[in-house]
Chain A
Amino acid sequence: MSETVWRVWARRAALAPGAVYALIVLSLVFGVFTAQFLTLHNLTNVGMQGSVLIIVSLGMTLIILTEGIDLSLGPVLGLAGVVLALCVKQQMGLPLAILLAILAGAAFGALNGVLITRLGLPPFVVTLGSFGMAQGLALVLTQGSSIAGLGPAVQYFYDGRILGIQVPIVMTAITFLVVYIILYHTKFGTYVFAIGGNQEALSLAGVRTRLYKTGVYVLGGILASVAALVMTARMNGAHPTVGVGLEFDAIVSVILGGTSFERGRGWLGGTIIGALAVSVLRNGLNLIGLSTSWQVTAVGMVIILAIVVDGLRGI
């Protein structure tokens, strides 16, 4: 009997997404090789810095589940941050500023979604185009420079605490809950999985797949704006190119978390573990003293490794 139990667990372990192993191995390695890694202070840091990535990755998960991709999420985050900062600087109320930032993200999501679903264009080209447009708008609005000093009201979203817990962590938890409910407990979520599985069949069954698919990109844009709020609060300012490359980390997190580019296979919880693994990787490489240049290379290799393993295992 003990042998069967062992086998069940072995099978479960073999099926667990790569992120679980990556997180365990990376934590062990950094815990052994650096004194600071396994301190409560540093782990809280990882969680807070990782919150931006987790929030973006949650949106990216849904997009990838529909067999899409959004390369524009990084620059859209940058643009949303710029909009937020500019509005705050114009003495607009913070709620209105946040609303406008979210609208900017949603607008780019809608643009992506409509072009992809109505014209049948490949997602990576459309979102590469909007990558340029969002980047351009952020640069034009700021003339290429930073906007600094937004004041304590904005900083609250990074430094503040709710019931003793840091605000970014609370926001991440709420975002996860919302996306979880959307994905697993609504019709919308069921269709997201189904679109990835077989969009053709779903359309023939009379489901408005284009509408739902567009909704996925809009949600991705909105979540990028929410992440921009945390990012802007952390920097107490905005910079037009701050988001570039984040879309890449988000893709890595989603893939590591076990969501596949094909067949609508995926798991929302895995994305959180994947994003934490990427955050731990960056944090640990920092602690070891590896330059950001090497980090770029290291994360690039992790994604290739993760997808190759995913591809080989999924056959």
Chain B
Amino acid sequence: MSQFWLSLLSRVVAIILLVVVLSLVSSGFLSVQNLINIVRQASLLFILSSGLTVVILTAGIDLSIVSVLALSACVAANFIQQGWIWGGSLIGLAIGAGCGLLNGLMVALVGLPPFIATYGMYWIAEGFAQVFMQGQIIFGFPGGFRVLGAGYVAGVPVPILVMVVVLVACFFVLQRTNFGRYVYVIGANREAARLSGINIRGNLLLVYSLSGLISAFAGLVYISRINAVESTIGEPLLLPAIAVVCIGGTSLFGGEGGIGGTLVGALILTLVTNGMNLLNVSPYWQWFVMGAIVVLSVAIDQLGSAKVGGA
């Protein structure tokens, strides 16, 4: 555990360094507007990655989150645009949870490797989203719905408040409930979890359903913010979402890490993206940088733990 806090500390230092460097390089960086923008962008990434964090803690992965986000957002948007704000949102959330449940069934009951089951779901949801939208864009949502992504409460953007709520909820669930403890145990040592009588299948079903539900929720926040939706909105988010969890120090082998790291990861990644934008780096390089960050953060973590293990 102390090693986890140490790695978290090193990441906080990384944030401070990034902030210092970016404020020196770009005069526009330290403006209040830009800083609020950064946290608001980070909030979406954080919400999307929070469900993924729980999945990864069980030594699983969910590659379908972004197309589940797109599918549920597209269907929900269709109803929301006609004024059914609550009904549409609930339908979107239900679709997300349903896709997640299917993932859970494939992983927990059939026993498929998580990355292959969720990669299949990625394309299924992506296909349905394309079929549903037929290449169209839905835009212009009612004001009541736009509060979620673009509104303010007491001067604070709503997505940031939502991020805080999700953070507290995830922290409470992971640290203070039986379910949270089971998540860690299943990830750390599945055999031990089984022998101590933990219902692995049931908990995994819950974990993947939760991931789908949170993806759908992130989708609602996202489309409310940009006031439009098309079938491909999720695609550019997959690498960043996984990068956020990796940077946050949650181990891909399960059982190690937590939601706090994911918040730090979301901030770091958003700072990097924001910095590249301020420095006018071509958006095409961002794909490369995202990929490199995923590989580097996993590699550094692995090297670090290998040294600790060897000593």
Contacts and interface: CB of A to CB of B under 8 A. Distances in A.
Interface of A: 69, 71, 115, 119-122, 124-126, 128-137, 139-140, 143-144, 245, 248, 251, 261, 291-301, 303-304, 307-308, 311-312
B178 interface: no
B295 A126 contact: yes
B61 interface: yes
A295 B134 CA distance: 13
Interface stretch (B16-24, B88-96, B106-114, B181-189): B106-114
Interface stretch (B32-40, B41-49, B120-128, B199-207): B120-128
A132 B239 contact: yes
A233 to B, nearest CB: 25
Given A128-B239, A261-B113, A120 B291 contact: no
Contacts of A295: 127
Given A119-B302, A297-B127, A312-B110, A125 B288 contact: no
Contact of A291 (B61, B131, B294): B131
Given A248-B119, A304-B117, A132 B290 contact: yes
Interface stretch (B4-12, B159-167, B218-226, B278-286): B278-286
A168 to B, nearest CB: 25
A143 B291 CA distance: 18
Given A143-B282, A299-B127, 13 more contacts: A121-B252, A121-B298, A122-B253, A124-B61, A126-B295, A130-B291, A134-B291, A136-B284, A140-B282, A261-B116, A291-B131, A296-B123, A297-B123
A132 B291 contact: yes
Given A119-B302, A124-B115, A307-B120, A136 B286 contact: yes
B303 A119 contact: yes
B227 interface: no
Contacts of A311: 110-112
B123 A300 contact: yes
Contacts of A130: 291, 295
Given A139-B287, A261-B113, A132 B123 contact: no
Contacts of A126: 295, 298
Interface in B264-294: 282, 284-294
Given A121-B302, A295-B127, A296-B130, A140 B242 contact: no
B299 interface: yes
A125 B252 contact: yes
Of the candidates A130, A132, A294, the one having the most CB atoms from chain B within 10 angstroms of its own CB is A132
A135 B287 contact: yes
B246 interface: yes
B288 to A, nearest CB: 3
A109 to B, nearest CB: 14
B246 A293 contact: no
Contacts of B298: 121, 125-126, 129
Contacts of B124: 297, 300-301, 304
A125 B116 contact: no
A174 B267 CA distance: 50
B131 A248 contact: no
A71 B306 CA distance: 26
A292 to B, nearest CB: 8
Contacts of B306: 119-120
Interface in B117-174: 117, 119-124, 126-128, 130-131, 134
Contacts of A296: 123, 126-127, 130
Contacts of A294: 127, 131
B112 A307 contact: yes
A14 B24 CA distance: 68
Contacts of B131: 291, 293-294, 297
A119 B288 CA distance: 21
Given A296-B126, A297-B127, A128 B242 contact: yes
Interface string B76-113: 00000000000000000000000000000010001111
A125 B246 CA distance: 10
B98 to A, nearest CB: 15
B304 to A, nearest CB: 11
B128 A297 contact: yes
A121 B129 CA distance: 33
Contact of B284 (A129, A144, A298, A308): A144
